[in-house]
């Protein structure tokens, strides 16, 4: 490929001038000097690099900067960071060089972008999810990092034709999975739409082309329809002396594709392939009045569909979107969606985050993006759980449709569709959520799991003595609520462990054993716990009882523990311990860093047993095979197939909560129900999920659904309930 350097240099200079010309923000002389310095640095750094298409690499950062400057509308700092976003990763230029030349703000954004680019590219979904989580964590530093990354992804999607097909599909799938939802949530509708359409182009090219051809064929008919619609209302709008513009907007290829799938119809059976948009100019204070005035004019001429009215002016979407959407029976008896918005609202819809800050003034309430970013930051800071769960929760809240509900004082709150009463409590404040005792919806007490609907008025009842329980995770859908509950449960585990440490010290003292590091290590070995915190926690919640501690003391005092160690380490098959206690306490295998339970089978080459040091190996057809670490095949598997190895360990499942149902019957006595509920509520290791009692001719039946951490706690509960006067029979289902 022969390159005319002079022509290429002229084109680079032309692109640079266009970058300055199309900037959404007004650029000062200082801004232009800073952008010029970033441009010169990027040109020099990338001077020897070319893209797969053969063009000079510098065209990519310039294109990303143009998207940032014009389509997204960010400031000069962001434009500079976009120009420099690849230099640290791909050239000898260091982050220190960027900081020295451009200052700390730009260096910080470039550093965030470099961290994202250096994430592992792995096909494994859990690693991919972990990479996404790390990328999202950059939102804690500066939201502009993610916005520039979205611009970078958009330009990559626009120029993917020279890539091999398998890479096109992988990148397009990633884009649909996380980048398009992120663009949607930040309010970048135009970019979100283009990302979705381009993704469909590479994941389902035939479907993409067939829909595109149909849309192109109907452009003329669409323009005729808009013209016939406009003539009915233009005269009335002119009477109001409004400055307005009426134009049609084709629904995106991807949205039509989704409708075809959802309705299981062909494209010819999709009738609302485009919408009509009326954008008007007026003073900020009159926007709402004028919007409803236009609504009145339209509905004077066309019959509205009352179920399709969407008022996002009175209650803007949480990403800042404002508009009035109505669906009317238009000319030729066709339903048509009409979007009514001011030029300011239109700008926010097009530019999202940047326009939000342009129009935000003084103490004016924020439109929603800042609140979302603040909530998101709290979620990111609190989250320490499974990466796949985190990303799925995050995605759910990115694309979820919204409902609007009211506080007792009449304040409006937005939540994702499907949110529950408990989600609302956490949306108000994390401390209110953690202390939620009950919720009233429209002045009626409802379960915490009650799904909310738009228009509900909600009051949260709190109790200072309450703490979140594990079953609360089943009652919420928002990532904010889930992360706070998980964080609180971890804190409670630490508190129980601290209590258990002191209880253990006292119990060991009674057994004439000193509690020190050596003793604790011996106990970990004897009981096969992962850590001292696990040991203290089990003592704290009562699953490690006096009988088991006495067994340890006997072994410890009689030096049996040394023999126990020797037998564990021995490779002689005759020495393998067959003590039932090991099997009972270590009855569950978990895999990976997240310690997940997975389907598995045991390999025949080494036949591992509970208590052995093991690992999982992902086979081609046989799922996960568990091998002993001393297996003769271990070295070959670990060396040649490291990417298919899963860390594995035996755990004691008694620390998990599980549900149980108790059926009670007997003679009804005064105060019996109160006595039963008091007995259960006083035990912090038991959660009541559901309770119901019926009485007939002094004979009662009751059903109690509880969550407990182990069978010992449930058995003790049954024993205590059996002593309650009137209870004749207790049956566990």
The 10s digit of each residue's pLDDT in 175-228 is 887 788 888 877 788 899 999 999 999 988 888 999 999 888 888 888 888 888
Of 557, 614, 606, which Cα lies nearest the Cα of 590? Answer: 614
By residue count, the chain amounts to 733
3-state helix, strand, coil in the chain (%, to 5): 55, 15, 30
* pLDDT at position 135: 63
Pure H helices in 430-478: 430-434
CB 292 within 8 A of CB 304: no
Q: Tell me whether the CATH fold assigned to 5-188 matches the one assigned to 657-732.
A: no
Q: What is the distance between the alpha carbons of residues 139 and 700, in angstroms, rounded to a whole number?
A: 57
Verify whether residue 456 is a known catalytic residue: no
**Catalytic option among 90, 272, 311, 492:** 90
Give the residue extent of every domain in the chain: 5-188, 213-351, 488-569, 582-654, 657-732
Was domain 657-732 assigned CATH 3.40.50.1100? no
**Helix-helix angle 672-681:711-722, to 10 degrees:** 150
Q: Is 610 helix (H, G, I), strand (E, B) or coil?
A: coil
Q: How many CA atoms lie within 13 A of 353 on its CB side?
A: 28
Q: Is the model's pLDDT at 684 over the cut of 70?
A: no
- Cα dist from 422 to 271, 430, 437, 556, 710, whole Å: 39, 11, 10, 49, 26
Tell me the average pLDDT across 234-255: 86
- DSSP assignment of 668-690: --TTHHHHHHHHHHT-TTEEEEE
Q: What is the mean pLDDT of residues 596-607?
A: 79
Q: Choose the CATH number for 5-188 among 1.10.3210.10, 3.50.50.60, 3.40.30.10, 1.10.10.10.
A: 1.10.3210.10
Q: What per-residue string of b and e applies to 500-517 under the rule 16 or more CB within 10 Å gives b?
A: bbebbbebbeeeebebee
> Is pLDDT above 90 for 251?
no
Provide the pLDDT for residue 527. Answer: 79
Average pLDDT score over the chain: 79
The whole-angstrom separation of Cα 325 and Cα 313 is: 10
Q: Catalytic residue, from 8, 55, 89, 657: name it.
A: 89
CA angle 647–649–650, rounded 5-degree value = 160
Per-residue pLDDT at 365: 43
For the stretch 298-312, pLDDT in tens is: 998 889 988 888 898
Name which residue leads in pLDDT, 550 or 571: 550
Question: Among this protein's residues, is 89 annotated catalytic?
Answer: yes
Provide the pLDDT for residue 613.
Answer: 74
Mean pLDDT score, 633-652: 71
* CA–CA distance, 630 with 632 (Å, rounded to integer): 6
pLDDT one-digit tens code per residue, 569-588? 444 444 444 434 434 455 67
Q: Which residue, among 515, 607, 519, 591, has the nearest Cα to 555 in the 3D structure?
A: 519
Q: Among 1.10.10.60, 3.30.1340.10, 3.30.460.10, 3.40.50.2000, what is the CATH number of 213-351?
A: 3.30.460.10
Predicted confidence band of residue 138 (pLDDT cuts 50, 70, 90): low
- The confidence band for 619, taking pLDDT boundaries of 50, 70 and 90, is confident
Rounded CA-CA distance 275/339 in Å is 7
Residue 371: CA atoms inside 13 Å, Cβ hemisphere, count?
Answer: 15
In the chain, the N- to C-terminal Cα span, in Å, equals 77
């Amino acid at each position: 490929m022969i390159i005319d350097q002079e022509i290429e240099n002229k084109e680079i200079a032309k692109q640079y001038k266009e970058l300055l010309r199309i900037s959404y923000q007004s650029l000062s002389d200082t801004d232009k000097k800073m952008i010029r310095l970033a441009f010169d640095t990027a040109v020099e750094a990338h001077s020897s690099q070319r893209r797969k298409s053969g063009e000079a690499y510098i065209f990519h950062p310039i294109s990303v900067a143009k998207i940032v400057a014009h389509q997204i509308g960010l400031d000069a700092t962001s434009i500079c960071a976009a120009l420099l976003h690849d230099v640290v990763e791909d050239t000898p230029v260091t982050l220190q060089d960027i900081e020295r030349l451009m200052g700390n703000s730009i260096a910080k954004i470039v550093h965030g972008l470099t961290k994202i680019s250096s994430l592992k590219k792995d096909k494994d979904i859990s690693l991919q999810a972990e990479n996404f989580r790390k990328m999202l964590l950059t939102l804690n530093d500066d939201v502009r990092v993610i916005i520039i990354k979205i611009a970078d992804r958009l330009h990559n999607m626009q120029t993917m034709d020279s890539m091999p097909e398998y890479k096109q599909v992988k990148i397009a799938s990633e884009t649909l999975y996380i980048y398009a939802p992120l663009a949607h949530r930040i309010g970048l509708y135009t970019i979100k739409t283009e990302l979705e359409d381009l993704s469909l182009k590479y994941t389902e090219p035939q479907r993409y082309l067939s829909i595109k051809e149909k849309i192109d064929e109907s452009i003329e008919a669409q323009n005729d329809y808009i013209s016939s619609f406009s003539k009915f209302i233009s005269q009335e709008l002119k009477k109001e002396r409004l400055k307005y513009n009426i134009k049609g907007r084709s629904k995106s290829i991807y949205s039509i594709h989704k409708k075809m799938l959802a309705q299981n119809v062909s494209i010819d059976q999709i009738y609302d392939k485009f919408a009509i948009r009326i954008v008007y100019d007026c003073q900020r204070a009159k926007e709402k009045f004028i919007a409803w005035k236009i609504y009145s004019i339209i509905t004077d001429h066309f019959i509205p569909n009352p179920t399709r009215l969407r008022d996002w002016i009175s209650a803007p979407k949480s990403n800042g979107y404002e508009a009035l959407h109505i669906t009317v029976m238009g000319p030729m008896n066709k339903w048509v969606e009409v979007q009514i918005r001011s030029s300011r609202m239109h700008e926010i819809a097009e530019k999202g985050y940047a326009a939000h800050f342009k129009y935000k003034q003084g103490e004016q309430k924020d439109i929603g993006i800042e609140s979302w970013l603040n909530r998101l930051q709290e979620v990111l800071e609190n989250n320490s759980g499974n990466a796949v769960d985190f990303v799925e929760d995050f995605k759910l809240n990115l694309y979820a449709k919204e409902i609007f509900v009211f506080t007792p004082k009449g304040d409006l709150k937005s939540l994702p569709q499907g949110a529950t009463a408990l989600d609302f409590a956490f949306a108000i404040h994390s401390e209110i959520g953690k202390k939620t005792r009950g919720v009233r919806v429209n002045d009626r007490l409802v379960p915490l799991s009650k799904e909310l609907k738009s228009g509900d008025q909600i009051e949260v009842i709190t109790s200072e003595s309450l703490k979140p329980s594990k079953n609360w995770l089943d009652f919420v859908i928002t990532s904010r609520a889930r992360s706070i509950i998980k964080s609180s449960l971890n804190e409670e585990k630490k508190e129980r462990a601290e209590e258990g440490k002191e209880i253990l010290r006292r119990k060991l003292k009674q057994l004439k054993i000193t509690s020190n590091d050596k003793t604790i290590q011996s106990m970990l070995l004897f009981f096969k716990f992962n850590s001292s915190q696990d040991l203290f926690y089990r003592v704290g919640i009562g699953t490690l009882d006096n009988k088991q501690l006495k067994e340890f003391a006997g072994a410890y005092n009689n030096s049996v523990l040394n023999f126990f160690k020797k037998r564990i380490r021995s490779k002689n098959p005759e020495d393998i311990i067959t003590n039932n206690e090991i099997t009972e306490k270590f009855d569950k295998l978990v895999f990976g860093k997240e310690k997940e339970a997975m389907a598995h089978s045991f390999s025949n080459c080494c036949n591992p047993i509970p208590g052995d040091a093991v690992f999982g190996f992902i086979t081609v057809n046989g799922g996960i095979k568990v091998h002993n670490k001393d297996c003769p095949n271990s070295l070959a598997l670990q060396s040649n197939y490291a990417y298919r190895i899963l860390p594995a360990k035996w755990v004691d499942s008694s620390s998990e909560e599980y549900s149980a149902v108790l059926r009670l019957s007997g003679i009804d006595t005064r105060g019996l129900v109160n006595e039963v509920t008091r007995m259960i509520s006083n035990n912090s290791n038991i959660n009541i999920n559901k309770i119901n009692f019926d009485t007939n001719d002094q004979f009662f039946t009751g059903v109690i659904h509880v969550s407990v951490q182990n069978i010992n706690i449930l058995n003790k509960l049954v024993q205590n309930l059996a002593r309650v006067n009137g209870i004749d029979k207790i049956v566990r289902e």
